[in-house]
Amino acid sequence: MRRQDNCPLCAADGGTLIWRGDRLRVIRAAEAGFPGFYRVVWNDHVAEFSDLSAADRALCMDAVALVERVLREQLAPTKINLAALGNMVAHLHWHVIARYDWDSHFPGAVWAPAQRERDGAREAQVAQLLPRVDAALERALDAWAA
């Protein structure tokens, strides 16, 4: 495993661990206002997507697409947002975010300023589905890796 000192994604999972494979893991993030927020984290310390081999890039994006599909099936979001930024933590991780037209930032990015008040009742409805999402992700990732 390639590791870097002081990298938070080398030191810890980076969220609630949903599934771990040899090359990558899937975690659920805790980002206020966005209950359906998962990350695909590459296990090795790699900064940029294009640092991966073609085979590893394909593996990585297969996992991202799988997480996206499960979120769509389980949460029926208005839109999925995908991003690999890494300006703060330059260890490859893909944000996979279920967005809703009623969420506080839609149609802006989750990093943009809020456009309206948060809707706690609707957020709670989504949050209630997360155990089912987590279980569906685990099943789908196990089947994928098998």
Residues that bind its own copies (CB under 8 A): 47-50, 54, 57-58, 61-62, 64-65, 68-69, 72, 78-88, 90, 99, 106-109, 111-113
**How do 37-42 and 93-99 pair as beta strands?**
antiparallel
Per the DSSP assignment, residues forming a β-bridge with 34 are 31
Which residue's CB is nearer to its own copies, number 46 or number 128?
A: 46
Q: How far is the CB of 144 from its own copies (least distance, A)?
A: 12
Nearer to its own copies, 74 or 81 (CB): 81
Nearer to its own copies, 17 or 65 (CB): 65
Residue 33 or 86: the one with the smaller Cβ distance to its own copies is 86
**Reduced to 3 states, what is the DSSP secondary structure of residue 39?**
strand
Which among 92, 98, 100 has a CA at the least distance from the CA of 28?
98
In the 8-state DSSP scheme, what is residue 15?
S
Q: Nearest distance from residue 56's CB to its own copies, in Å?
A: 11
Min CB(48)–its own copies separation in Å: 6
Q: What Cα–Cα distance (Å) separates residue 82 from each residue in 6, 38, 39, 71, 95?
A: 26, 10, 9, 12, 5
- Of all helices (H) and strands (E), which one includes residue 18? strand 16-20
> Closest Cα to residue 43, out of 96, 83, 101, 4?
4
CB of 40 to its own copies, least distance (A): 12
